[in-house]
């Protein structure tokens, strides 16, 4: 047995792309899942001798979630020394307060992406590796929003809180693996652009996020990805079921 098989969802841009590119230089095999592929990840994988397989799926769609889980784990190489799943795919979802929050389809798709895809892919990995003599690690990318309520973010906060609790439950159920729900802090990604383009009536905290951008307080996806990979390979990994990368990357 040798090498790592790494799986990263939401890998076409932002933090997911940065994580995939980082792992392309060290993993034996890199599996990415997102609607679009990332040419830079493919080039880095080829240059380092890493086998890269991309699954083009929209993980806000239940049929795509099931297809991704079936496609990846029906043919998973069972000879690796380490299996790493990073459930990074996520969306802010509809931003609205109780009196205007009524788009059931948007709410459902957000929970599919933020929670259900992570649950089903984690389940598939844990089942596939249960009898293997391998190091199995799962990182669910969470958010401080799942641990502190924010007006207007009812859907996002609830989905990340659900992801946190699922991680804690799965940790109890699967002793052969180590799992963590990891908050990455504020990152300069497309999600931040979406936040700043919002309406203050829906999201009263808008000014704070505008200031974070204007003052250069947003960290780059590359810096956060580097900190996360370093954390994954450290003695601190999954020492707490709910953690925050900012505790290790100052």
- Catalytic positions, written as ranges: 156
d(CA 39, CA 28): 18
Contacts of residue 139, defined as CB under 8 A and 6 or more positions apart, other chains included, come to 84, 85, 86, 87, 179, 180, 182, 228, 232
Q: Which 8-state DSSP code applies to residue 144?
A: G
For residues 18 and 21, what is the distance between their CA atoms, to the nearest angstrom?
5
Give CA separation, 173 vs 112, 182, 229, in Å.
22, 19, 25
**Interior angle at CA 200, CA 149 and CA 181, nearest 5:** 30
Instruction: Report the largest interatomic distance among the alpha carbons of the chain, rounded to a whole angstrom.
Output: 56
Sign of CA dihedral 210, 215, 219, 222: positive
Q: How many CB atoms lie within 10 A of CB 3?
A: 16
């Amino acid at each position: 047995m040798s090498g790592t098989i790494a799986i990263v969802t939401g890998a076409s841009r932002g933090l997911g792309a940065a994580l995939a590119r980082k792992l392309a230089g060290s993993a034996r095999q890199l599996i990415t899942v997102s609607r679009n592929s990332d040419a830079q990840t493919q080039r880095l994988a080829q240059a380092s001798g890493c086998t890269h397989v991309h699954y083009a799926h929209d993980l806000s769609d239940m049929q795509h979630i099931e297809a991704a889980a079936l496609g990846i784990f029906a043919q998973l190489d069972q000879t690796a020394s380490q299996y790493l799943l990073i459930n990074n795919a996520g969306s802010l979802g509809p931003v609205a307060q109780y009196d205007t929050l009524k788009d059931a389809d948007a709410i459902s798709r957000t929970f599919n992406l933020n929670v259900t895809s992570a649950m089903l892919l984690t389940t598939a990995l844990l089942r596939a590796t249960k009898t293997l003599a391998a190091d199995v690690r799962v990182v669910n990318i969470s958010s401080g929003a799942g641990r502190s309520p924010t007006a207007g973010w009812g859907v996002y906060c609830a989905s990340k809180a659900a992801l946190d609790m699922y991680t804690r439950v799965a940790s109890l159920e699967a002793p052969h693996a180590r799992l963590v729900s990891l908050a990455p802090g504020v990152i300069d990604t497309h999600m931040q652009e979406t936040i700043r383009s919002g309406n203050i009536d829906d999201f009263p905290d808008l000014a704070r996020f505008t200031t974070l951008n204007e003052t250069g307080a947003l960290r780059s996806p590359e810096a956060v990805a580097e900190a996360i990979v370093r954390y994954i390979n450290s003695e601190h990994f999954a020492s707490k079921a709910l953690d925050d990368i900012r505790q290790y990357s100052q």
